[in-house]
Amino acid sequence: MPWLIQNLWLIPALPLLAAGLSALMKRPSRAASASLAIGSMALAFFLSCAAFVKTLADPAAHFTHNFDWFVLGETTFRLGWVLDPLTAAMLVMITFVGLLIFIFSVGYMAHDDNFTRFFCFLSLFAAAMLGLVIANNLLLLFMCWELVGLASYLLIGFWYQKPSAAAAAKKAFITTRIGDVFFFLGILWLSSEAGTLLFYDGGAGCLEQSALAKLVVQSTWIGMGVSTAIALLIFCGAIGKSGQVPLHVWLPDAMEGPTPVSALIHAATMVAAGVFLVARVYPLMAVMPEANAQGPMPKVQVAMATQIEGGAGTETNRVVKVATNVPPLPEGEGRGEGEGTHGKHLASVSTALQAVTWIGAITALFAALIAVAQTDIKRILAYSTVSQLGFMFIGLGTGGVAVGIFHLLTHAFFKALLFLGSGSVIHGCHEEQDIRRMGGLRKLMPVTFATYAIGMLALAGFPLLFSGFWSKDEILHAAWLWQPSKWPFLLGLCGAFLTAFYMTRQMWFVFFGTNRSAGVPARSNSEPMDASDLQDTHGTSHASAGGDARTPHESPPVMTVPLGILAACAVFLSVFGTPAWPWFHSYLSGHAPHIAPSIEVGTLLVMLVSAIISVGGIWLGWNFYSRRGPKTAEEPDPLEKLQPDVFATLRGKFFIDELYQMSVIAWNAACARASRWLDDVVWDGAVRAVSLVALGLSWVNRLIDEFVVNLGFDQGCGGLRLGARLLSLWQNGQVQRYLRFIALGLVLLGVIFIWGCK
């Protein structure tokens, strides 16, 4: 089906078109905008399914279609798209989860003034993410990556009248842009060293053998391999986008957006982009020089072994087969083979992947700790996303693409489910987000409760039945087998335990116990929309339903049906990735889907530990809160009574925001002030000084002119005139005076004569 590969661009183009069209629509055309968005997404979903089917036949192939974008000197700059199992799996997930979120939004946003604009932004978001997934060029990926950032900016700040939403949107954009700046440098470096940014290009792409071989033998000035440096720079982008420590601060604030946006950001699009990026450039991340190689053309070891099995296709449609990265997990112990040659355990994992693993492990535990003490229903989920993304990075770092991406996919479903469920709760509780003011909702919102419980169990990793268990178990298993260190495994275990605990806490607060909303004044400041409109519409809808305006209510079917579908997926997705039938791993690793199940003692042991951890966490949480849980909204959390200082630190998110405020932000402001000072005082001062000197010189000049040259001239003239006047006195034409002078002269002469003769 070459048609599909040549026209893969249609998948992102359809939502993009929908976004463009609804951008031109007027506010009242709500139905048109929503149906355009949903219709385009449904079409994209069908195309994605077709693409998925296409890859099933030959999962080892990277079908690409490259084209010229512009000329550059004597070469051309080419873009392209690629279809391989990684892309196909992501496409199906994004379009499917996206579609459900779109449908849910119709109900959730029904009363919003800017409904039309909302669907425009949602479509843009989906389009950018789909473009990112199909890109066969790191620059194209980066472009879509930035557009994902733009869409998230627009959606987080959707309720722009709330100053906090506007600030959160800006914070999200700028925090992720910090990572992006490093990512951008990585792209530049890769481009200059590899000479191309195409991933797969018939053997000439930057993820293929020859380019990697070139990269890995060079080293930078600090002795680090160029490939490692580039991989780490690219990973910085992923840290920003996927909310890993230390750039996680924007993700919880992003909860200021409408809940469907949170679902989209946390499940299908934004944060998945970072994980996907690492998976996409995995060959670059994993590449490392063979320790003993000294020759002019050293052999390269790409994780295990990357071989080009088959060659190019036609001009426009190059089909390349690369046995990708990592064999399925049960063969994970095969890693030992490579070590025989150089003995050192540490050397068998590239520096970049070690960094990925460590960042992931630290984040997994760190965010889980914070989540324990949060009280906002969406923020708890937000921190759980941060933590789960950490797990995905552990999976990528220790187990390879399949392990990380499988958790990404299962997580997408149950996290979308949880966010939409929380949206349903918030909607039903009249925009209340504080779990201390909820409680006992299981009877009032049965569908939401049932689906939310499934999502919660999946996230907590409840054994056997739920997809989250299997995907997390694999990560822990891979971490267990990881040679450089056992710490990521232990950190992951702690994170998993805490996850089970805080999700149980949240379940108890929201759905069990007694309803604590009574007697609490409505929090008007958390009203997302124009407070007046919203109250009105809600008021009337409840009045017509005949209930008390403050009583929580179940959401309409347009919201609950997507919840049900997602809940089903959260359960059934597990069948693809159990150790007994690891279909997904062979698929992503490019193996034909025939599977020899291999269950070993180690596998079972880790599974058992993981199950115990999860159940233990749930048990502890349930016991703790059902006995000591607060009865009113004001009563402090029992944990707070137990350990007030620790709890305050956790609730304050380890005060990372405050730390940044005092450090990075303060430094930036100081630099800015210094720049302004330089401009206003130093450089402008210098200019003014020069002009003053010039003015001074002209002033001196004027003085010389007026007082020396002019005045001298004038005085000279005056002197001359005076002399002339005096002279003229001698000759005034009066004969008497002349005679008088002659007489005087004669007398004088007479006197001199007489004196002389004496």
Partner 1 sequence: MNSLPLLTLLTLTPLVGAAVIAGLDPKHRSLARGLGLFFNLLAFSLAATLWANFNVASGELQFVERHDWIPSVGVQYFLGVDGMGLLMVLLTALIVPFGLLASGRSRREEAQTSGTKIDQSLLTSAPTEQLNAPAFVSLLLFLQAGLFGAFTALNFIHWFVFYELTLVPAYFLIKLWGGSQRSSAANQFFIYTMVGSVTLLLSMLAVYLVTGSFDLIALAEKGRTGELASLFNVRIAGWYGLSPRTLALVIFFGAFLGFAVKVPVWPFHTWLPATYAEAPTGVSMVLTGVMSKMGVYGFLRILLPIFPNEMQIMLTPLLWLAVATIVFSAWAAMMQRDLKRIVAYSSINHLGYCLLGVFAVASFTGSDPKWTTEKTAALNGVLLQMFNHGITAAALFYFVGLIEQRAGRRGLGDFGGLRKVAPVFCGLMGIAMFASLGLPGLNGFIGEFLIFKGVFPLAKWAAAFSVIGLLVTAIFLLTILQRVWSGPLAEQGKAFPDLTMKERLIVLPAIALMFVLGVWPQLILGAINNTVLQMVEGLKL
Binding residues among 61-90 for partner 1 as defined by CB under 8 A = 69-75
Least distance in angstroms from the C-beta of 152 to partner 1: 13
Nearer to partner 1, 641 or 676 (CB): 676
Q: Is 161 in the site for partner 1 (CB under 8 A)?
A: yes
3-state secondary structure of 129: helix
Buried b (16+ CB within 10 A) or exposed e, 224-261: ebbbbbbbbbbbbbbbbbbbbbbbbbbbbbbbbbbbbb
Nearer to partner 1, 487 or 660 (CB): 660
Nearer to partner 1, 156 or 444 (CB): 156
Cβ neighbours of 298 (radius 10 Å): 15
Rounded to 10 degrees, what is the CA torsion of 152, 153, 158, 159?
Answer: 130
Nearer to partner 1, 518 or 686 (CB): 686
Tell me which stretch binds partner 1 (CB under 8 A): 301-309, 494-502, 673-681, 737-745: 673-681
* Residue of 110, 166, 312, 620 that binds partner 1 (CB under 8 A): 166
* Residue of 17, 42, 150, 615 that binds partner 1 (CB under 8 A): 150
Least distance in angstroms from the C-beta of 94 to partner 1: 19
Please state, in angstroms and rounded to a whole number, the distance separating the CA atoms of residues 609 and 621.
Answer: 18
Q: Is 224 in the site for partner 1 (CB under 8 A)?
A: no
Q: Is 754 in the site for partner 1 (CB under 8 A)?
A: no
3-state secondary structure of 301: strand
Rounded to 10 degrees, what is the CA torsion of 431, 433, 438, 441?
Answer: 70
Q: Is 42 in the site for partner 1 (CB under 8 A)?
A: no
Least distance in angstroms from the C-beta of 184 to partner 1: 6
3-state secondary structure of 321: strand
Of 453, 476, 507, nearest in space to 613 by CA: 476
Nearer to partner 1, 240 or 562 (CB): 240
Nearer to partner 1, 174 or 312 (CB): 174
Least distance in angstroms from the C-beta of 432 to partner 1: 22
- Residue whose entry in the numeric block shows the structure tokens 């703790």: 624
Binding residues among 118-147 for partner 1 as defined by CB under 8 A = 139, 142-144, 146-147
* Residue of 642, 678, 709, 748 that binds partner 1 (CB under 8 A): 678
Residue 518 and residue 388 in contact, taking contact as beta carbons nearer than 8 Å: no
Residue 274 and residue 244 in contact, taking contact as beta carbons nearer than 8 Å: yes
H helix or E strand, kind and range, residue 101? helix 85-108
Q: Report long-range pairs for 365-370 (Cβ below 8 Å, ≥24 apart).
A: 365/390, 365/491, 365/492, 365/494, 365/495, 365/498, 366/245, 366/390, 366/654, 367/245, 367/248, 367/495, 368/494, 368/495, 368/498, 368/499, 368/502, 369/498, 369/650, 369/654, 370/650, 370/653, 370/654
- Residue whose entry in the numeric block shows the structure tokens 């010039």: 694
* Residue of 174, 217, 465, 656 that binds partner 1 (CB under 8 A): 174
Of 394, 420, 419, nearest in space to 407 by CA: 394
How many alpha carbons lie under 13 Å from residue 531 in its C-beta half-sphere? 7
Cβ neighbours of 637 (radius 10 Å): 20
Of 503, 512, 395, 521, nearest in space to 455 by CA: 503
Please state, in angstroms and rounded to a whole number, the distance separating the CA atoms of residues 357 and 378.
Answer: 27
* Residue of 35, 57, 195, 600 that binds partner 1 (CB under 8 A): 195
Please state, in angstroms and rounded to a whole number, the distance separating the CA atoms of residues 11 and 200.
Answer: 20
3-state secondary structure of 496: helix
Specify burial of residue 441 (Cβ count, 10 A radius: 0-12, 13-18, 19+): buried
Least distance in angstroms from the C-beta of 154 to partner 1: 9
Tell me which stretch binds partner 1 (CB under 8 A): 91-99, 155-163, 402-410, 640-648: 155-163
Nearer to partner 1, 193 or 635 (CB): 193
Number of residues engaging partner 1 in binding (CB under 8 A): 54
Nearer to partner 1, 527 or 554 (CB): 527
User: 372 is written with which tokens?
Assistant: 């324990």
Q: Is 724 in the site for partner 1 (CB under 8 A)?
A: no
Least distance in angstroms from the C-beta of 694 to partner 1: 9
Least distance in angstroms from the C-beta of 3 to partner 1: 23
* Residue of 682, 693, 724, 744 that binds partner 1 (CB under 8 A): 682
* Residue of 333, 679, 705, 714 that binds partner 1 (CB under 8 A): 679
Binding residues among 12-41 for partner 1 as defined by CB under 8 A = 23
* Residue of 170, 214, 442, 550 that binds partner 1 (CB under 8 A): 170
Nearer to partner 1, 192 or 540 (CB): 192
Nearer to partner 1, 140 or 287 (CB): 140
Here's the x/- map for partner 1, 369-408, by CB under 8 A: it reads as ----------------------------------------
DSSP 461-478: T-TTTSHHHHHHHHHHHH
Buried b (16+ CB within 10 A) or exposed e, 411-420: bbbbbbbbbb
How many alpha carbons lie under 13 Å from residue 165 in its C-beta half-sphere? 21
Please state, in angstroms and rounded to a whole number, the distance separating the CA atoms of residues 103 and 98.
Answer: 9
Nearer to partner 1, 669 or 746 (CB): 669
Distance of CA 344 to the CA centre of its chain: 36
3-state secondary structure of 733: coil
* Residue of 35, 668, 710, 715 that binds partner 1 (CB under 8 A): 668
Specify burial of residue 675 (Cβ count, 10 A radius: 0-12, 13-18, 19+): exposed
Residue 359 and residue 392 in contact, taking contact as beta carbons nearer than 8 Å: no
Tell me which stretch binds partner 1 (CB under 8 A): 5-13, 167-175, 490-498, 741-749: 167-175
Please state, in angstroms and rounded to a whole number, the distance separating the CA atoms of residues 454 and 448.
Answer: 10
Here's the x/- map for partner 1, 538-567, by CB under 8 A: it reads as ------------------------------
* Residue of 1, 31, 57, 160 that binds partner 1 (CB under 8 A): 160
Nearer to partner 1, 157 or 274 (CB): 157
* Residue of 309, 333, 548, 684 that binds partner 1 (CB under 8 A): 684
Nearer to partner 1, 189 or 449 (CB): 189
Distance of CA 453 to the CA centre of its chain: 29
Q: Is 742 in the site for partner 1 (CB under 8 A)?
A: no
Nearer to partner 1, 86 or 144 (CB): 144
Q: Which DSSP category does 331 fall into?
A: G
Tell me which stretch binds partner 1 (CB under 8 A): 261-269, 497-505, 610-618, 677-685: 677-685
Nearer to partner 1, 164 or 623 (CB): 164
Nearer to partner 1, 680 or 705 (CB): 680
Residue 649 and residue 528 in contact, taking contact as beta carbons nearer than 8 Å: no
Q: What is the largest distance, in Å, between two alpha-carbon atoms of the chain? A: 160
Q: Is 181 in the site for partner 1 (CB under 8 A)?
A: yes
Rounded to 10 degrees, what is the CA torsion of 220, 223, 229, 230?
Answer: 40
Tell me which stretch binds partner 1 (CB under 8 A): 186-194, 260-268, 273-281, 576-584: 186-194
Nearer to partner 1, 486 or 673 (CB): 673
Least distance in angstroms from the C-beta of 692 to partner 1: 13
Positions that interact with partner 1 (CB under 8 A) = 23, 69-75, 139, 142-144, 146-147, 150, 153, 157, 160-163, 165-167, 169-170, 173-174, 177-178, 181, 184-185, 188-189, 191-192, 195, 668-669, 671-676, 678-679, 682-684, 686-687, 691
